[in-house]
Amino acid sequence: MKRRSVKNILAQIPYSVELYWHLVQRHKPWHAHFNLDLLDAVLPEAVGQAEEARRGQEPGKKVFLFASLHYWIEYSALLGLALAGRGHQVTLSFMPYASWDEPIDKFDLRRQNLYARGVLSAASSLLQVQSLLDVRPFSKQLPPQLAQAVDQVSVFDAQYALQVEDITRDEDIYRLRDERNQEAALNARAWLMAHKPDVVIVPNGTIQEMGVVYQVARHLNLKTVTFEFSDQREHIWLAQDDEIMRHNTDGLWAARGHEPLEDAHVEQLKALYAARVDAKTWKNFTRQWQETPTQGGTAVRKALNLDDRPVILLATNVLGDSLTLGRQIFSKTMAEWVEETVRYFAKREDVQLVIRVHPGEVLTHGTSMVTVIRAALEDMPAHIHLIEPDEKINTYDILDITDLGLVYSTTVGLEMAMRGIPVIIAGQTHYRKRGFTSDPDSWEMYYAMLDEKLGDLESAQLTQAQVELAWRYAYLFFFEFSKPFPWHLLDLKDDFHTRPMAYVLGDEGEQKYGETFEYLAGKPLTW
């Protein structure tokens, strides 16, 4: 306690941390959780290779690349070097946090800042390094519109941390995130207004300080690029002037949605889908969508004690998941939509409602949809069947016996449409309004659609043309929406060893990844 008090006092004294660093800390091994060891090890060689590639390059764009958290800083530094090796003028900006949801005293934060600056100084020939902590804002207040956007990011952060949808703004995590986000916004706004880069690149772009910098750049009408990692190895998703986690496929669909699938594309999609159904990974796709292998519709009908009445499948998302944040259309939250839907079906004994709670809940700590559903119905009617996240039931077996699907934003809705099952979408998801789903914009429309489809489920089944449209969209989303890229955040050490800077900036790397790097640098995205 005494040590913390001393550190807090020292942190208030100008240059005290810097003096401590130069006299004491820099001579000691660095053991903090905020660790850039990987970057420290590869930077000298990577810089040399990027310098070699840069020789003879035409001057490129002024790029502002921002990251927070040590692992994103490592990744972004290598990304920045690759862009610099292609001729771009790159500023790497950062905030030196090890954890986004835990407090840190100012003394340790400033020490981490000095440590990061020291490691990154090895790249000073190619990167301008700018900690946002070192920027002095010219104003202590944000414009109202931007302040509202920053507050929304703080709400998302709290929802994501607590895995709940209802935030009061009295939560400790909200206050922590709002304080950090406000500082990031004020400092980023000051720097961006003073330097006016051609493009601002941030990972994710929806949550934490990275989401804030994205919002600041958009507020200043700067070109922005956001990126995240797709389900395929050596691929990323990226978006220009948009949040990548919204998976906006409008441009891809407009450019390619009219093209019939080739036989090879159909076989490729069939193979991927078969792996998803049977709880396997496939080729370079890293994600396993199920843990329980398929047993067929007959087996699941018996396991759930279902009779011959039509089966309606409601597939939930995980509360607070990044794919549900800000996705409401007519309901206040996903939970409200689920609550009202189960109450509606409690009165519909002519059908059977199967609620598949997302299996991903076994990895989370927030409110379970099981709790939400049981609170909505005091007594669970016999015709409503709740499948909890840890139950060994394959979701695709349920699809074998499903007559109508209800989803918020989960990809299961797309896969139901591929089987010809009619789907009503309640949240904002990337495949909404593509011609093969029903997409209500209000509660009135939602209930009207339910009444209509339940009144004649046979006629509600999708046409062959709609099924083909769903397959076409699925192929484009799974195989064309992502772009080739050499490194993944979670496998950075191995990936960078396999595909070092010299390879990425060489002839073969240029052929594989060159266009993606130019999209990241702001070249208009084409499909």
Helices (H), 121-228: 144-162, 172-195, 208-219
Q: Is 227 left (phi over 0), alpha (psi -120 to 50) or beta?
A: beta
Backbone angles phi, psi at 203, to 5 degrees: -65, 150
Q: What is the pLDDT of residue 476?
A: 97
- The conformation of residue 480, written as its DSSP 8-state character, comes to I
- The H or E element spanning position 236 is strand 235-240
| pLDDT-derived band at 287, boundaries 50, 70, 90 | very low
**Domains 32-247+494-520 and 260-480 fall in the same CATH topology:** yes
Q: Are strands 127-131 and 89-95 parallel, antiparallel or unpaired?
A: parallel
Whether 289 shows a pLDDT value over 80: the answer reads no
| pLDDT-derived band at 272, boundaries 50, 70, 90 | confident
Q: Which amino acid is at 362?
A: V
Residue 152 neighbours by CB under 8 Å, 6+ apart: 326
- The H or E element spanning position 185 is helix 172-195
Q: Domain-by-domain residue ranges, the chain?
A: 32-247+494-520, 260-480
Fold entry, domain 260-480: Rossmann fold (3.40.50)
Q: What is the pLDDT of residue 132?
A: 97
% residues pLDDT > 90 (the chain): 76
| pLDDT-derived band at 66, boundaries 50, 70, 90 | very high
Give pLDDT tens digits for 201-236: 999 999 999 999 999 999 999 999 999 998 788 999
Q: Tokens 């998703």 label which residue?
A: 237
Cβ atoms of 367 and 375 closer than 8 Å:
no
Q: Report the 10 Å Cβ neighbour count for 213.
A: 32
Burial class (CB in 10 A: 0-12, 13-18, 19+), 194: exposed
| pLDDT-derived band at 493, boundaries 50, 70, 90 | very high
β-strand partners of 236: 229, 483
Q: What is the pLDDT of residue 9?
A: 55
> Closest Cα to residue 77, out of 111, 114, 113, 127?
127
The predicted model gives 273-291 an average pLDDT of: 53
**Greater confidence, 224 or 394?**
224
Q: What is the pLDDT of residue 292?
A: 59
| pLDDT-derived band at 281, boundaries 50, 70, 90 | very low
What does the H/E/C string look like for 298-348?
Answer: HHHHHHCCCCCCCEEEEECCCCCCCCCCCCECCCCCHHHHHHHHHHHHHCC
CA separation for the pair 257, 254 (Å, rounded): 6
Average pLDDT of every residue of the chain: 90
CA separation for the pair 359, 292 (Å, rounded): 10
Helices (H), 361-491: 369-376, 395-399, 412-418, 443-455, 457-460, 464-475
| pLDDT-derived band at 391, boundaries 50, 70, 90 | confident
The predicted model gives 404-423 an average pLDDT of: 95
Q: What is the pLDDT of residue 14?
A: 58
Q: Tokens 């839907």 label which residue?
A: 341
Give pLDDT tens digits for 30-46: 667 899 999 999 999 99
Q: Report the 10 Å Cβ neighbour count for 302.
A: 11
> Closest Cα to residue 486, out of 460, 465, 506?
506
For 32-247+494-520, which CATH class? Answer: alpha beta
Whether 505 shows a pLDDT value over 60: the answer reads yes
Q: Tokens 């006016």 label which residue?
A: 196
The count of C-alpha atoms lying within 13 angstroms of the C-alpha of 415, restricted to the half-sphere facing its C-beta, is 22
Q: What is the pLDDT of residue 378?
A: 83
Whether 282 shows a pLDDT value over 90: the answer reads no
Angle at Cα 189 formed by Cα 187 and Cα 191, nearest 5°? 70
Whether 5 shows a pLDDT value over 70: the answer reads no
**Greater confidence, 293 or 421?**
421
Q: What is the pLDDT of residue 366?
A: 72
Q: What is the pLDDT of residue 349?
A: 96
| pLDDT-derived band at 365, boundaries 50, 70, 90 | confident
Cβ atoms of 138 and 188 closer than 8 Å:
no
Cβ atoms of 238 and 516 closer than 8 Å:
yes
- The conformation of residue 438, written as its DSSP 8-state character, comes to B
